[in-house]
Chains A and B, each alone.
Chain A
Amino acid sequence: MSHLLREHAPISETAWGVIDDEARTRLTPALAARKLVDFAGPHGWEHSATNLGRTQELADPPVEGVSGRQRRVLAVAELSVPFIIGLDELRDVDRGALDVDLRSLSEAARRLATTENRIVFHGWERAGIVGIVQAATHDRITLGDDCERYPRHVAKAVELLLGAGIDGPYGLALGPETYTRVLETSEHGGYPLLDHLRKILGGPLVWAPGIQGAAVVSMRGGDFLFDCGEDISVGYEHHGAGEVALYLSESFSFRVVTPEAAVALAA
């Protein structure tokens, strides 16, 4: 039995299938960071830390004439988001119902994906994680509201990366509002802005809830490392007479290996 305790939930195999499918469906479009950065793992729930390959000196060893060093690691962070599903709804799944109320799960998935993106791009100090936008060493470019100028800004970001010897393809993570603006815009002559930006980047534009502004990142590999302990899973918490409390969880660390491989764009 795994730590998720799924076997203790009053949920049939069919209903678990519906819950897992719904979680996967809701999470996948929103997990923007995973569409851009390197992904290692999943290494499992027992995986506790990422090896940094570095050490720090230990002062005052217990015996004279001996030196000591300690390995430095980046501990994985655990995320957990609770949600509730009515037991009547799950019984109806077993009867073949298709219009099941899984709004609580959808909201949990949105929160988890947003958090994962936020941590990868803006960091989480308490977890010792520095985000891509924080780490980026190039001057920040302001996108502004005029979408027709976006190709110029994105081309400038690509030029900065090339100038630093950072090869492509490049990807662009856009916060939801900026992404919608790009989708709605056609340049002179009706050419979709989205396609123009893709051509400049040579890589994808991704809808990235949780990101403030945008970021152009190199996707050549080896620059941004998402180290997954346990990949996103659904676990069981408890249940009462009318509902069952579940949760989405994952564990991971993230680190920027090459700070100059990204350019932050302010909204």
Chain B
Amino acid sequence: MGFDQYHEPADELPEETRTFARLCASLTEEAEAIGWYEQRLALEPDRDARAIMRDAQGEEFKHFSMDLECLLRRTPLWREIAMGILFREGDIVEQGEEAEEQAVEGAAARGAPVTGSVSLGIGSLRARPAS
């Protein structure tokens, strides 16, 4: 039985970091499963089998999304960057660069903890100027 999600001694890690690592491992597994089903669907000619695979892939979409949302809720900086990228029209790379720059520089200036915080994560409530 492997514990590959840990890169540091597990018994030295805080409980919330172990949970965080497990969620990251789950996220990876769901993404892999989505990719596998996509490959099977590309080759499978049987209609019933395809319907089942499509249904199963939908489950993986859900699992991936739930894992991601859970991780984002626990990681304000990640969430802030994701908010600048997800569900938007336009150039993904450009938006990614902008979101990272704004979020990381802002967080670094504030000294925000990246992960593992047990606070409510309220922080500053000043509205960010429209860019």
> Which A residues have a C-beta under 8 Å from some C-beta of B?
1-2, 4, 6-7, 20, 23-24, 27-28, 31, 34-44, 204, 219, 228, 230-234
B41 to chain A: closest CB distance in Å?
35
For A235, give the chain B residue with the smallest CB separation. Answer: B118
Q: Give 26 pairs: A residue, B residue, CB < 8 Å, sorted on A.
A: A1-B14, A1-B15, A2-B118, A6-B118, A24-B121, A28-B122, A34-B122, A34-B123, A34-B125, A34-B126, A35-B127, A39-B110, A39-B125, A40-B109, A41-B110, A42-B111, A42-B117, A42-B119, A42-B123, A228-B123, A231-B117, A231-B121, A231-B122, A232-B119, A232-B120, A233-B119
For A20, list chain B residues within 8 Å (CB).
120
Instruction: Tally B residues with Cβ within 8 Å of A.
Output: 18
The answer to whether A24 touches B127, judged by C-beta atoms less than 8 angstroms apart, is no
The answer to whether B125 touches A28, judged by C-beta atoms less than 8 angstroms apart, is yes
For A39, list chain B residues within 8 Å (CB).
110, 123-126
The answer to whether A7 touches B15, judged by C-beta atoms less than 8 angstroms apart, is yes
A151 to chain B: closest CB distance in Å?
22
**B49 within 8 Å of A by Cβ?**
no
For A219, list chain B residues within 8 Å (CB).
126
> Which B residues have a C-beta under 8 Å from some C-beta of A?
14-15, 109-113, 117-127
Known A1-B15, A41-B111, A42-B111; contact A31-B125, beta-carbon cutoff 8 A: yes
- Give which listed residue, A6, A35, A41, contacts B112 with CB less than 8 A: A41
Known A7-B15, A35-B125, A36-B126; contact A43-B111, beta-carbon cutoff 8 A: yes
Known A1-B15, A36-B126, A39-B126; contact A231-B110, beta-carbon cutoff 8 A: no
For B126, give the chain A residue with the smallest CB separation. Answer: A35
For A23, list chain B residues within 8 Å (CB).
120
Q: Whole-angstrom distance between the alpha carbons of A46 and B68 in the complex?
A: 30
For B122, list chain A residues within 8 Å (CB).
24, 27-28, 31, 34, 231-232
Q: Whole-angstrom distance between the alpha carbons of A99 and B53 in the complex?
A: 39
3 cross-chain pairs, A with B, having the tightest CB-CB distances, nearest first? A39-B124, A231-B119, A34-B125
Q: Whole-angstrom distance between the alpha carbons of A62 and B44 in the complex?
A: 87
Q: Whole-angstrom distance between the alpha carbons of A37 and B125 in the complex?
A: 9
B120 to chain A: closest CB distance in Å?
5
A164 to chain B: closest CB distance in Å?
22
Q: Whole-angstrom distance between the alpha carbons of A38 and B125 in the complex?
A: 10
For B117, list chain A residues within 8 Å (CB).
42, 231
For B109, list chain A residues within 8 Å (CB).
40
The answer to whether B119 touches A40, judged by C-beta atoms less than 8 angstroms apart, is no
For A230, give the chain B residue with the smallest CB separation. Answer: B119
For A2, list chain B residues within 8 Å (CB).
14, 118
Q: Whole-angstrom distance between the alpha carbons of A24 and B124 in the complex?
A: 13
A24 to chain B: closest CB distance in Å?
5
A148 to chain B: closest CB distance in Å?
28
For B15, list chain A residues within 8 Å (CB).
1, 7
A143 to chain B: closest CB distance in Å?
24
B119 to chain A: closest CB distance in Å?
4
Identify which of B122, B123, B127 gathers the most chain A CB atoms within 10 Å of its CB.
B122
- A34-B123, A39-B126, A43-B111 given; name 4 further pairs at CB < 8 Å: A39-B124, A41-B111, A230-B119, A232-B119
Q: Whole-angstrom distance between the alpha carbons of A231 and B126 in the complex?
A: 15
For A6, list chain B residues within 8 Å (CB).
118
For B112, give the chain A residue with the smallest CB separation. Answer: A42
Q: Whole-angstrom distance between the alpha carbons of A7 and B118 in the complex?
A: 11
Q: Whole-angstrom distance between the alpha carbons of A103 and B99 in the complex?
A: 38
Known A34-B125, A35-B126, A40-B110; contact A27-B14, beta-carbon cutoff 8 A: no
